[in-house]
Amino acid sequence: MSLEDYINISFDDTLSRSHKGRQLRIAKNFWLEYFGLRKLNGVHNHTIREDLDEFHEYITELDEISSYAVKKQDEKNPAACIWRKGVLIGKIWDSRRRGYKELKYM
């Protein structure tokens, strides 16, 4: 891992433009509750520069033991998309991965 490695969490891209404010609040509450991200370092995103592999392990556990739907892919970005009842909670982008393949919620 180099100093440039990071994970970026984006949670401003929702499916519904008419309820974007409500969905954005749901996403922000999720990141506050599960990760303690009170002060975001972006308007609708947050960048993590430490414990990147542990973060991926936590996302895997979240998929297995919670009611959140986590769509993951190896070697591509976004590395994961987290959904709850049709609301996109966040897209996980890993700087160590290349390429882009959109994940669709089903």
For the stretch 15-69, pLDDT in tens is 556 666 777 788 888 888 887 777 665 666 778 888 888 888 988 898 899 888 8
Q: Which residue has 């433009």 as its token pair?
A: 17
What whole-number distance in Å separates Cα of residue 68 and Cα of residue 80? 12
Q: Is the peptide bond before 78 cis (omega within 30 degrees of 0)?
A: yes
Domain boundaries, the chain: 7-94
Rounded average pLDDT over 81-105: 75
d(CA 40, CA 16): 23
Q: Does this model's pTM top 0.85?
A: no
**Contact between 62 and 70 (Cβ < 8 Å):** yes
Over residues 66-89, the mean pLDDT reads: 85
